[in-house]
A and B are shown apart, each in its own frame.
Chain A
Amino acid sequence: MRVGNIDRVKRQLLHEAVSDNVDTIRGLPPRRMRRLERTKGAWFRTTPLLLLPLTLLGASYIVVSESRGLAVARPVQKPTARPRNLATALPDSFEPVKAAAFPLAVKRVVLDAGHGGKDAGASSASLLSEKEITLDIERRLRLLLEHNGFEVVATRTDDRLIPLRDRARIANSSDSDIFISIHVNSLRSHTISHGVETYYLGPTKDPVLTQLAAEENGTSGYSIADLRKLLERVYADVRRDESRRLAATVQQQLYSDLRAVDPGLENWGVKRAPFIVLVATDMPAVLAEVGCLSNEREAAMLNEPHYRQQIAQALFRGIFEYSKKGT
């Protein structure tokens, strides 16, 4: 062999290339993502965690007051009462328009694979991390959608960290109809159970959800002032209703399809939470937590291409169902 006369740099490179391959065979995560590297991000993650509850309070205030406003306005819709009440209504208030009024099917879908690059997301002991799983599911889902005539815009197509702000920008500038963000759960407590859940935008008082949102919002690229502005745009209109409808359809498909493969799967339902990608996107948007890496058995399943394909198919059916109902 030529080993004897190759120089030191080459030998080192070769050694690292071989180690990388051996890691692949063993199914270890790439070196960059291992523990030491990740602790650096901890500080950045905790900051929004402390600040978010404040903005959340603000948000729930806005939404509560708006929903009250609607409750008052409802009886007023009788034709006789209309003139008087028009005056009392806020000048910039508007009636929610039903999306069904526009008989357009969903054409373009934004797919958002959670995390990426330095931000590995949730990870399990020795298997794939969240960023790899989400990207893989995103790719599978994209193929399914494209095969069925949908157009797909992806917020990330490779292993790179895209700030949430840019993800929202990609989504908003793409003129798309709906936004699906794919994430994988990792629970601190009760790791025995595992389930699927789907979120749409809204305030929450659940401290666990607040923490989850803070974690996912960690690399947003938004300042607190920006956040407040965004949350002030939270309104009870078409987008929220449509987001809820989309979330419900996706969740139903996810649960019913995946339970067929995994009988122990729990339905954690449709929830509201203030994830930034949901706040900043202009179209109906949901965030699906398609599994739990904290559950060992499920982590092993998520490691199987076959199971990820099933998740992609369930998401696809959810989107498809939603787009059918929209017409």
Chain B
Amino acid sequence: MASSEILHVGIDLGTSRSAISASNGERFVVDSFVGWPADMVAKKILKRTVLIGHEAVANRTMLDLHRPLERGLLKEGSDKDVEAVRELLRHLLGLVGAKKNGKVDSSNVRAVVGVPAAALRTNKQYLRNSMKGIVDSLMIVSEPFAVAYGLNALLHTMIIDIGAGTTDFCVMKGRYPTEEDQRTLTIAGDSIDTHLVKLIEEHYPQANVTLFMVREWKEKFSFVGTPTQRANVVAPVKGVPTELDITNEIKAACETILPPIVETMLDLLSRVEPEFQERVRNNIILSGGGGLIRNLPKMLEDSLRQVGGGKVTYMEDPVFVGSDGGLALALDAPDSDWERLSA
């Protein structure tokens, strides 16, 4: 196979969003939702056999909607979810142009897929089996490792990747991270959403809010510490659209992730060899959607003060950090290695 025909891609398969970066320069992000029309009527209206991403969410009332990933891992034991993740992958590959005669053709695709740091062998095997036949070769790596690789942050750095399903930590020591260097918390974007729904319902018992609405508000207003603006949103109260001030609820919900993240960060730092601790403290990188929570880097820096201070950098464009890192890995791996990883 001529190397010009081969398409290298990095994929960040996320619980909430999945991003893809391809060697032809294309980059896309989609919501990790897949839906099939629930009945014949829906099929007629939608004129499609499967809907993916934002479209699926928007038309969810007509769909059998699946979110195939849970806590960053493929849900096991459900054929529908396996099929959903395959559709999602085909869709992503189609977006970056892995097509032949109008149909998605991925037989010459080499993909690197990021999964949570704590994913077990079993999880990786399951993902591998589920993706059979979709790509030519497949490499599965820990998501924070892909981020670190893409940023060239390979020595004395800590990556904190706050996604929807999981928050992943990885200390880079110039070697492939082992289980000691990595942590995964299931406290992340989704847990903020659940808290937020509860808090809003407590404050406004009459209001009707769904997880989907709350997720949008969170993405718009999320912050920790002192508010810089009021979060005013519109939701139906007894069927009447009403403006609600949810500033305090947003703050409280976002701050629920702080203590566990700080604890894990400090714990991992304390395990770094003493002479390198300062360097790692000054090289903490925040990625993933959670990096967009206003004021979060500063709050983390405040908590570092008790151990001598440090610096937390956040990525301007956290969406593609993981998939770009995956792409870098894909491009750097020699042909001989890819041949050993055929899917």
Contact = CB atoms under 8 A, between A and B. Distances in A.
Interface of A: 1-3, 6, 9-18, 20-22, 24-25, 27, 29-32, 117, 128, 132, 135-136, 139-140, 143, 157-160, 305, 309
Interface string B90-132: 0000000000000000000000000000101110111010000
Sort A-B residue pairs by CB-CB distance and give the 6 closest, nearest first: A16-B176, A158-B118, A18-B337, A3-B334, A24-B124, A158-B184
A3 B329 CA distance: 11
Given A13-B149, A21-B141, A27-B125, 13 more contacts: A10-B332, A14-B337, A17-B145, A18-B337, A18-B340, A22-B340, A117-B179, A135-B120, A143-B77, A157-B186, A305-B76, A309-B76, A309-B77
Contact of A159 (B76, B120, B329, B340): B120
A15 B139 CA distance: 12
A1 B3 contact: yes
Contacts of B340: 18, 22
Contacts of B184: 158
B333 interface: yes
Contacts of B149: 10, 13
Contacts of B124: 24
Given A30-B179, A32-B178, A132-B120, A24 B154 contact: no
B331 interface: yes
Contact of B332 (A3, A24, A31): A3
B174 interface: yes
Contact of B126 (A16, A31, A305): A305
23 contacts: A2-B331, A3-B332, A10-B149, A11-B332, A17-B141, A18-B139, A21-B139, A21-B341, A24-B124, A24-B140, A30-B121, A30-B179, A32-B178, A32-B180, A132-B122, A136-B120, A139-B76, A140-B77, A157-B186, A158-B183, A160-B183, A305-B77, A309-B76
Interface in B299-342: 329, 331-335, 337, 340-341
B331 A13 contact: no
Interface in B131-174: 138-141, 145, 149, 154-155, 174
Contacts of B329: 14, 17
